Structure 1
Amino acid sequence: MTREFQVQGVPVSELARRYGTPLFVYDGTALRDRFHGLRDRLHPAMEIFYSLKANPNISICALLHSFGARAEVSSLVELTTALRAGVPPQQVIFLGPGKSRQELAACLDSGIHAVVCESIPEVALVDELARERGVKAPVALRVNPRFAVKRSGLAMGGKPRQFGIDEEELFATTDLVKRFPDVDLMGVHVYMGTRILHEAVIVENTTRILDLAERLSAALNLELRMVDVGGGLGVSYFDGESDLDAQVLTDGLNPVIEDFTARHPGTRLIMELGRYLTAEAGTYVMGVRYTKTSMGERFAVADGGTHHHMAAVGIGSFVKRNFPMAVLNRLDEPATEEWNVTGPLCTPGDTIGKKVPLPPVRPGDLIGVHRSGAYGPTASPGLFLSHGYPAEVLVHEGRCHLVRERDSPEDLLQRQRLYDPTAHDAADVPH
């Protein structure tokens, strides 16, 4: 009998029958094991905040929060999502380089733990909003440090960036506390880079960030009640990569954390994790519509593609490599052929896998892209050709939950307005 991919005992063919394809499937047990695999080893003083940008589905956020995760958000919708998912405001921080006045006002009105400001003009705006409300606004300063991350998939600091305030500028601006009386400068945030797969690099970065936070606290005369060390813990996708060893990582991190907390027992320590928590738990499932050969190469044309999973074709990477892929309904058949796996879009860029080793592919097969729980719909052009976004299904404790409905034509058209060139009544004209 042909072996089939299952999620907690539910066959992928059953998921495809019930919910259609393409779809994202998330394994709640994998989410739990990933979270606790780190949480149970990590020093208790370091809190884990889930970065919603990786996967903003409200049910994913709620499930991770039930395990103990807090929330890091970067938009008004992400803030609303976290609060509706049950995350208390004091377990939420908000960061991002271009926050709107509306977003900053929502942060103050909801009472979140900290607004992470990424420029001095932003601190000034928060100060103004706090004064209007008669409150003291909790602010952490995001620092762009002099040092750069090593072996990162995408560097976020140590170079000219839109993120954070340059370290040199902060050390030269020692009157920040006095200049903004309605702001409570209470912390420091540094995020160095993403997809780091070397435990020693994470330990070194954390050590240097904590040292920088202490020096800034002394120089600016701010009470250090929070330090966010970022995260960037990586997930392996490609040949030659290995996942982080949580035990090795925490064996290196925990003494650094212990040393810092001994000097600063009242400081809240935060690590942000998005991809690390969710990527492994997700599978993107596509149905094969057609197969063909063109100039000697095989093509499997599927109902899903890059409009749902742009990350799988190397977003943010100059080297295009394939995510792990398989024919999910025939796992035990050997990969004897190379296939280009493409989607329904009218562009040659809609190739989600190039020369992927697979068994002979047939129409009706289900092809899965593994490790797809992060940066799927959230980083993809879902409206290209007006296909819309796919269904998302969470399987937890053996039960299936539809956590996002598939976009329908009516969903996509309901916010558009038809212009009738034969009508002569007044148009909506901005004043």
Structure 2
Amino acid sequence: MTGRHRIQGIPVTDIAEQFGTPLYIYDGEELEHGYERIRSRLHPSVDILYSLKANPNLSVCSLLGGLGAGAEVSSAAELAVARAAGVSPADTIFLGPGKSEEEVATALTAGIHSLICESYGELDLINKIAGEMGITAPVALRVNPQSAAKGAGLRMGGKPRQFGIDEGILMADPGLTARFPSVRLMGVHAYLGTRILSSDVVAENTAQILDMAQRLTDRLQFPLETVDFGGGLGVAYFQGEEDLDVDALTGQLNPIVEAFRAQHPRTRVLMELGRFLTATAGLYVTRVRYVKESMGQHFAVTDGGTNHHMAAVGIGSFAKRNFPMSILNRAQEPTEQLWQVTGPLCTPNDTLGKNVALSEVRVGDLIGVHRSGAYGPTASPTRFLSHGYPAEVLVHRGTPLLVHERESVSDILSRQPVHHELATTRTNGG
């Protein structure tokens, strides 16, 4: 055996033997390092919020919350996870374009820092619920800016979107504040794009958002207690990409924040980070069940696929590009062939990697998809073909901890009531 991939000194083969495959493994040391490398360099007045949508696993959230991260949530369930992880409501914001009445009421009851409002209809709803509760709701406006983000993998503003209220509409409505007596407008939020790998782009976007926040509050006449300039920091997945240089990034961001703070010393400044904190800490592990050749191509059919890792299939991309992959139990062997790495699903879309350069793949090998700590199982159709949710393991201080149990057949059936009257026997001609 030529080398085995290890996490904190533990062979991944041992973890797979203990917990089975397919599974996700998160490296707690890498999570800590990822948080500290940005926290130690970023302007101290910027509060970091962890975006739970990237990876809402309770243990991952607990670790990041324990390091000092607040929470950005987008559902009542995510809010419950953040609370269970020990994140203070005062360090929690709730956003999303389609909040329900129950979610608004739950967030207000919890006493979170702010609801991020994304439409006039939502303002009406928040005002109504807060009035019925006899409170004043803290609300930050999510703004869809006039300008678009540059260099973003996915642009979230600057064009027609379900997210936020158009900047132009707000600027033309100076009487907005007075129409919602149970709402306390107190901040501005904007999120221009995601998976940005240029520090120049992040700095330019941040400066634009801070300037826009000042313009809006001047126009609408409410105090700028909070400004959330999003984040959108990316990680390198594909060939030719490079990770952000954190020193260069903070070297550009910090003077912008410092200048803003000089004018607004009491304004709380927030930055949301999701993928940037968790992606590099995650490894998706599958075991090869079969190898075959078809029309000159080599296939490795594994026990896990895009039902657990939809991000790896490239849905939404014009071109399929592979996440970094390797054979974990023979990590040092030279690559020899191009392989199609596929899962167990009955669809040709279940392809984790196309033309992946690997050594000769054998039945029983463990294939790992690296940088898989963000947008993994919760962003995937885990019930497709009823294979269920994979196991998740967090390696903490040298100890592998099961942090999400594998979903069993009985788990799947337990959510589906049995109606015996449906199981009738049809007779011929009846």
TM over 0.5: yes
User: 2:304 touches 2:344 (CA, 8 Å); kept in 1?
Assistant: yes
SS in 1 for 2:276: helix
The answer to whether residue 287 in structure 2 is matched with residue 287 in structure 1 is yes
Q: 2:295 & 2:9 partners in 1: Cα distance?
A: 41
Q: Deviation string for 1:287-331 (max 9, x for gaps)?
A: 001101011100000001000000011133222100000000001
Q: 1:314 & 1:90 partners in 2: Cα distance?
A: 37
Offset at residue 32 of structure 1 (A): 0.6
Partner residue in 2 for 1:162: 162
Partner residue in 1 for 2:61: 61
Partner residue in 1 for 2:329: 329
SS in 2 for 1:18: helix
Aligned residue pairs total: 424
**Aligned residue type for 1:122:** E
SS in 1 for 2:53: helix
Partner residue in 2 for 1:395: 395
**Aligned residue type for 2:293:** T
Partner residue in 1 for 2:5: 5
Offset at residue 423 of structure 1 (A): 8.3
Q: Deviation string for 1:372-394 (max 9, x for gaps)?
A: 00000011000000000100000
Distance 1:422 1:286, change over 3 A: closer
Q: 1:102 & 1:325 partners in 2: Cα distance?
A: 42
Offset at residue 177 of structure 1 (A): 1.3
SS in 2 for 1:4: coil
The answer to whether residue 74 in structure 2 is matched with residue 74 in structure 1 is yes
Q: 2:350 & 2:334 partners in 1: Cα distance?
A: 26
Offset at residue 6 of structure 1 (A): 0.6
Q: Deviation string for 1:70-127 (max 9, x for gaps)?
A: 0000001000000011001001000000000000000100000000000011011101
Offset at residue 420 of structure 1 (A): 2.0
Partner residue in 2 for 1:143: 143
Q: Deviation string for 1:50-81 (max 9, x for gaps)?
A: 00000010110000011111000000100000
What TM-score results when the alignment is normalised by the length of structure 2?
0.98
User: 1:154 touches 1:316 (CA, 8 Å); kept in 2?
Assistant: no
Q: 1:28 & 1:47 partners in 2: Cα distance?
A: 21
Q: Deviation string for 1:379-417 (max 9, x for gaps)?
A: 100000000010000001111110000000011110101
What TM-score results when the alignment is normalised by the length of structure 1?
0.97
Alignment of 1:16-415 (within 5 A): 16-415=16-415
Q: Deviating runs (4+, > 6 A) in structure 1?
A: none
Partner residue in 2 for 1:429: none
Q: Deviation string for 1:113-169 (max 9, x for gaps)?
A: 000000011011101111111111000000000000011100000000000000000
SS in 1 for 2:410: helix
Q: 1:370 & 1:255 partners in 2: Cα distance?
A: 34
Offset at residue 2 of structure 1 (A): 1.7
SS in 2 for 1:353: strand
**Aligned residue type for 1:412:** I
**Aligned residue type for 2:364:** G
User: 1:38 touches 1:246 (CA, 8 Å); kept in 2?
Assistant: yes
Distance 1:397 1:158, change over 3 A: same
- How many percent identity over aligned positions? 61
SS in 2 for 1:64: helix
Q: 1:383 & 1:233 partners in 2: Cα distance?
A: 30
Offset at residue 421 of structure 1 (A): 2.9
Offset at residue 419 of structure 1 (A): 2.3
